[in-house]
Amino acid sequence: MTRYLLRKRIFAVVFLVTIFCFSILNFVHSYEPLKEKLIEIVNAKEEFSVKRVVELETTITDNLYGRMNYIEAYGYIQKLLDKREFNNFNSIKDEYGYLQYASFYREEDTRLFEYSMRIKRLQDYVKTSDTKVLFVVPSGKYDKNETKLRIGMPINDPNWIVDEMMFYLNRLGVETLDLRQSIPNEELSYEEAFFKTDHHWTIPAAFYATCEVVDKINDSFGENLDPQGYYTDIKNYDIVTYRSGMLGSMGRKTGANFCGIEDFTALWPRFEGDYTRESMTQGGQSNKKQGSFIEVLMESSVLTDKTDIYSDSQYSLYLNGLRIYEKIVNEENPEGSKIFMIRDSYFSPVISFLMPMCGQIDAIWSLEDTRELDIESYVKENEFDYIIIEVYPYNINSSAFNFFKED
């Protein structure tokens, strides 16, 4: 009996010591990110809310010591069991291996008309300065004609939201570009247009999207971007595929064991150019660069052998991902078209490909993390030839239209 109690006590002590050590490791590992998040919350000078509590919890969870090891183990078990869902249907894998967002119910948003009206108010405001407004929706990965799911699998389909908002905007007289109609296309198959492990489209898809934007601006507004067709000709770019080095944003949440690692294809320009770029990160850090297309509009460090697939995204090759603010000037064509872009990460490579055809592009990420940037004031204080509002289908919510709200 004494020996039995002794074993129980030893086990209890070992268990408590293990929990204590793991807690210390977690604290050390998450200290800096948690400190940065707390400083951000304090500097925001706003009332502490449930949203901020969730942000703190997410910061701690994302920086859990050995986090990816647990995710990979769980993903491996899911794969062995031939499961197609991950983390209680947070995401699912279709029959072709593409990760998709899942939902058991249709997410209603009764404010779609109000979002459309905000764009209309913006258009009416800049009309006196002859600024043209264009609303753009990229292609989403879920396509009912291309996606094959097991029976009963729930899918989060945002296409009805896009359809409804496009209807409102067209009735309000706002120019729109629905890239779902043109990507994929005859030159770019579905497999070439989307990543399996990432929610973004591929770089070739972003290039063809740029061509569509240029055609739309030229046809609808009488512009003459790229008159020789040089920058919209894919022959003037080197197409390079990097094998088995891409684990996308969705894949980093499920682990490579569950979804696999895929190839990444980049387009490298055969021309140089001269650009000046000012940008600001979410943490408020400013940066300035000047140089060629590759030096300023690309970040080749994400393609090195030292790249960590769990933290570095090769999609960040263009503009080094998403910045809350960008101002890029084409020094070889400073008098060219001046564009203000309210956008998300889908248009990071599009901005790069569009830049040689423009004089200046200012870009702001309109989601909630950039509320310190007043879009209305920025529009009023600057004159632009075009304002492009681009929103990924899953990002259509009040945060993406944080401007010209109803009084």
What local confidence, expressed as pLDDT, does residue 308 receive? 79
Residues 52 and 120 grouped into a single domain? no
Site of tokens 């790069």: 352
Across the range 310-338, mean pLDDT stands at 90
Query: What is the average per-residue pLDDT within 174-198?
Result: 95
Instruction: Give the DSSP letter string of 251-303.
Output: HHHH-HHHH--EEEEEEEES----EEEEEE-TT--EEEEEE-HHHHHB-GGGG
Q: Which range (39-43, 69-73, 107-111, 174-178) has the least confidence?
A: 39-43
H or E segment at 2? helix 2-44
pTM: 0.87
Residues 135 and 7 both lie in one domain: no
- Examine the domain organization and report whether 48 and 154 are in the same domain: no
Look at 200-214, 240-254, 347-361 and tell me which has the smallest mean pLDDT: 240-254
| pLDDT above 60 (res 369) | no
To the nearest whole number, what is the mean pLDDT of the chain?
Answer: 88
The number of angstroms, rounded, from the C-alpha of 76 to the middle of its chain's C-alpha atoms is 27
- pLDDT (0 to 100) of residue 368: 52
How many distinct structural domains can be found in the chain?
Answer: 2
DSSP code at position 185: B
**pLDDT > 70 fraction of the chain, expressed in percent and rounded:** 85
Is 227 a residue whose pLDDT tops 80? yes
pLDDT band at 51 (very low <50, low <70, confident <90, very high): low
What's residue 306's pLDDT? Answer: 62
| pLDDT above 90 (res 41) | no
- Are residues 53 and 184 located together in one domain of the fold? no
- pLDDT band per the 50, 70, 90 thresholds, residue 328: very high
* Cis-peptide, bond into residue 356, ω within 30° of zero: no
Domain that holds residue 123: 112-191+205-233+273-292+314-401
Contact 38, 283 (CB under 8 A): no
Under the banding of pLDDT at 50, 70 and 90, the label for residue 47 is: low
**288 near 326, Cβ under 8 Å?**
no
Q: Of the ranges 173-182, 290-299, 315-324, 365-374, which one carries the lowest mean pLDDT score?
A: 365-374
Whether residue 304 is predicted with pLDDT greater than 70 in this model: the reply is: yes
Residue 179 burial (10 A CB sphere; 0-12, 13-18, 19+): buried
Examine the domain organization and report whether 33 and 131 are in the same domain: no
Q: How confident is the model at residue 52 (pLDDT cuts 50, 70, 90)?
A: low
Are residues 120 and 61 both part of a single domain? no
Nearest to 165, CA basis, from 328, 392, 406, 404: 392
Same domain, 21 and 118: no
Whole-number Cα distances in Å, 376 to 56, 123, 226, 404: 30, 12, 30, 7
Query: Does one domain contain both 29 and 160?
Result: no
Residue 348 has pLDDT above 90, yes or no: yes
How many CB atoms sit inside 10 A of residue 379's CB?
A: 22
Q: Are residues 340 and 210 in the same domain?
A: yes
Residue 397, pLDDT > 80, answer yes
Instruction: Assign 379 to helix, strand or coil.
Output: helix
Count of residues for the chain? 407
